[in-house]
Chain A
Amino acid sequence: MTDKIRVVIAKPGLDGHDRGAKVIARALRDAGMEVIYTGLRQTPEQIVATALQEDADAVGISILSGAHHFYFEKVISLLKEKGAEDIIVFGGGVIPDEDVPDLIAMGAGAVFGPGTSTGTTIDWLKKAVAKDE
């Protein structure tokens, strides 16, 4: 048996839309994962510290405010700084399609916007974590 997958679901900045984050958190739990939910208004430093302390396999960022460039970049670079680039960064929320390639180029694993079935996210995450081991 492999170890349980642990995922941090984080809401950075002032963005108060938390429905999507909660939907994803529940879906991942129902897929057997341990989900550490940070709650709202997190700084990138808090998100990265949480991921390290919790021995997370992945950090999922939920953003609907439009500030995705800034937060993805910051979280990914802080993880690198801590020697933790093995932790997968992915996310979702209201993120225009044309912005996704940029986020992937920064090092994000995948971005799942509105309307993606949670099953797609779960399958992707399980594969990404397995590949990482």
Chain B
Amino acid sequence: MSVLSSKILNGDVRGIARAISIMENKTNRTGVSEAEELMKEIYPHTGNAWIIGITGSPGSGKSTLTDKLIEQFRTEGKKVGVIAVDPSSPFSGGAILADRIRMQRHSDDPEVYIRSLGARGALGGVSNGTRETSLILDASGKDIIIIETVGVGQSEIDIMRIADTVCVVLVPGLGDEIQIMKAGIMEIADVFVVNKADRDGADKVARETRAMLDLLKNKDWIPPVVLTIAEDGSGLPELVSKIDSHKKFMHDTEAGIERIERRLNSEVENLLLSRLVVRAWQLWGENKSNRIKDMLELKTNPYAIVDEIIKNI
């Protein structure tokens, strides 16, 4: 086992931090092998943590909720990892990662590890290294991992491939109740959180969400709707208990197990796809200029070239 892997398993903060950076930078590097070797070593040590996704519109209170969730889980004595994703600038590639501001009171708690990630051009609401980051935190001994996505609109739903329980945060006054009916985000919710319940209209959002869910009667799991005020922590114990019920559903019912199987399937498919792309690009790159010249001189064509590349993968 590599030094870095042992550091992760021992919960060494700098080791974990470095490993996450390797995952985030993997497409930057000449090969992805360093990242993949590491994942192979630590994967057998994962599976202990429950991964909670927090997603919803910009400013809906995701970071404030995460802060309060950390508090709840810490009073239960659980170790908590947080992954907070913020958008990157499409112009400079840089980012200001500011979700953490609302969670800073936990930063020097040795049983809490908070990591901010820039989305770096990924469009699904999380960064390309978010899945691996959650596995690293899992292997490091965290019991709970909370992933805050970037503020999303309707279709940024990659969180469903990573989280065990997805909480979709709605707020009054954004027209969310109408939006969610047409949005892909509705299908991914395991728990609906109506935050800012101190504001007018929260009850209405909750009522309309429940009404919409009634149409899905024959579902195995009907997502509960929880009202919260993240600012003062109201509703948080209920939210934690709903997350717990969902965890039981996932563990104890056939429908739950099926969902976990589907997730594993898509994890392999994604990995396969990204590896294939890297390999194919490599093979194409090796002899690119000659092949382009051959095409210009009509000696070959794009279809023949692709056939040849696929054969060599």
Q: Which residues of A pack against B, CB within 8 Å?
A: 1-4, 6, 25-26, 28-39, 42-43, 45-46, 49-50, 52-55, 82-84
Contact = CB atoms under 8 A, between A and B. Distances in A.
B274 interface: no
Nearest to A45: B108
A124 to B, nearest CB: 17
Interface centre among B16, B94, B97, B101 (most CB of A within 10 A): B94
A3 B25 contact: yes
Given A32-B93, A53-B17, A84-B14, A39 B104 contact: yes
B93 A39 contact: no
Contacts of B108: 43, 45-46, 49
A52 B92 contact: no
A52 B13 contact: yes
A107 B28 CA distance: 31
Contact of A83 (B14, B25, B89, B94): B14
Given A36-B100, A52-B17, A54-B115, A29 B107 contact: no
Contacts of A36: 97-98, 100, 116
B20 A55 contact: yes
B28 A50 contact: no
B95 interface: yes
Interface of B: 13-14, 16-18, 20-21, 24-25, 28-29, 88-89, 91-98, 100-102, 104, 107-108, 113-116, 118, 120
20 contacts: A1-B28, A1-B29, A4-B28, A4-B94, A26-B96, A29-B94, A30-B92, A32-B93, A34-B95, A34-B118, A39-B100, A39-B104, A50-B107, A52-B13, A53-B13, A53-B16, A53-B17, A53-B113, A53-B114, A83-B14
Contacts of A50: 100, 104, 107, 114
B107 A32 contact: no
B92 A53 contact: no
Question: 4 closest pairs, A vs B, by CB?
Answer: A39-B101, A55-B17, A29-B94, A3-B25
A76 B94 CA distance: 26
B142 to A, nearest CB: 12
Contacts of B25: 3-4
A14 B53 CA distance: 34
Given A52-B17, A53-B13, A29 B95 contact: yes
A55 to B, nearest CB: 4
A76 B18 CA distance: 20
A53 B94 contact: no
A25 B100 CA distance: 15
A4 B89 CA distance: 13
A104 B89 CA distance: 33
Contact of A28 (B13, B94, B100): B94
A83 B13 CA distance: 11
A49 B104 CA distance: 10
A54 B116 contact: yes
Contacts of A25: 96
Nearest to B25: A3
Contacts of B28: 1-4
A2 B93 CA distance: 13
